[in-house]
């Protein structure tokens, strides 16, 4: 079973990203289970969302305590000692940052990838909402998910700027640094 944690800030599209990725996995013939943890958050406040995915029906209905993957929308939220305690060894970590992989050398034991999602979203006129860029990058990290399935989920769910968001998925996929 794949257990994914999304962390970012209000206004970046963290919750919507987990829902769109869940739909993409559903379109791939898998079973998703998605939930978020936040209150009446304001723009910029930390937000966390979770997604569980499996090829079999998911009967587990509890909190994800040891995710196998982390999608971090804001590198200022990374705390490596806490991450080591909270994540499975060898977990995949996708970090949205303008820095290169060398900036995360202390994260040995994890499979780390980076994407400058903020810059891509800004260039496409999406402002601070970088979720579709992140989904494209994640798709490249995950061989179980086809780019077309992610694009279809994004097209089904984004309320506006569909063409720009589809382009954001493609650019995220193309610009991921592994």
Question: What residue numbers bound the domain in which 13 lies?
Answer: 2-175
Tell me, what DSSP letter sits at residue 116? -
- pLDDT tens digit at each of 178 positions of the chain: 999 999 999 889 999 999 999 999 999 999 999 988 766 667 778 889 999 999 999 998 888 889 999 999 999 999 888 888 889 888 999 999 999 999 999 998 899 999 999 999 999 999 999 999 999 999 999 988 999 999 999 999 998 899 999 999 999 999 999 9
The enclosing H or E element of 138 equals helix 131-141
Stated pTM of the model: 0.93
Q: What is the DSSP letter of 136?
A: H
CATH number at residue 40: 3.40.920.10
DSSP string spanning 61-102?
-S--SS-SEEEES-GGG--HHHHHHHS-TT-EEEEE-SS-GG
Say how many domains are in the chain: 1
């Amino acid at each position: 079973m794949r257990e994914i944690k999304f962390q970012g800030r209000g206004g970046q599209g963290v919750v919507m990203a987990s829902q769109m990725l869940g739909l993409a996995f559903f379109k791939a013939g898998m079973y998703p289970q998605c939930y978020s943890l936040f209150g009446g958050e304001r723009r910029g406040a930390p937000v966390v969302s979770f997604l569980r995915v499996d090829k079999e029906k998911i009967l587990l209905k509890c909190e994800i305590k040891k995710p196998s993957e982390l999608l971090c929308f804001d590198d200022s939220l990374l705390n490596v000692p806490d991450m080591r305690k909270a994540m499975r060894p060898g977990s995949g970590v996708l970090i949205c940052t303008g820095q290169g992989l060398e900036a995360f050398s202390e994260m040995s034991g994890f499979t780390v990838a980076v994407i400058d999602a903020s810059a891509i979203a800004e260039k496409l006129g999406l402002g601070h909402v970088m979720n579709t860029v992140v989904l494209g990058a994640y798709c490249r990290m995950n061989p179980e998910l086809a780019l077309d399935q992610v694009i279809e989920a994004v097209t089904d769910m984004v309320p506006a700027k569909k063409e720009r968001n589809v382009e954001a998925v493609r650019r995220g996929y193309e610009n991921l640094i592994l």
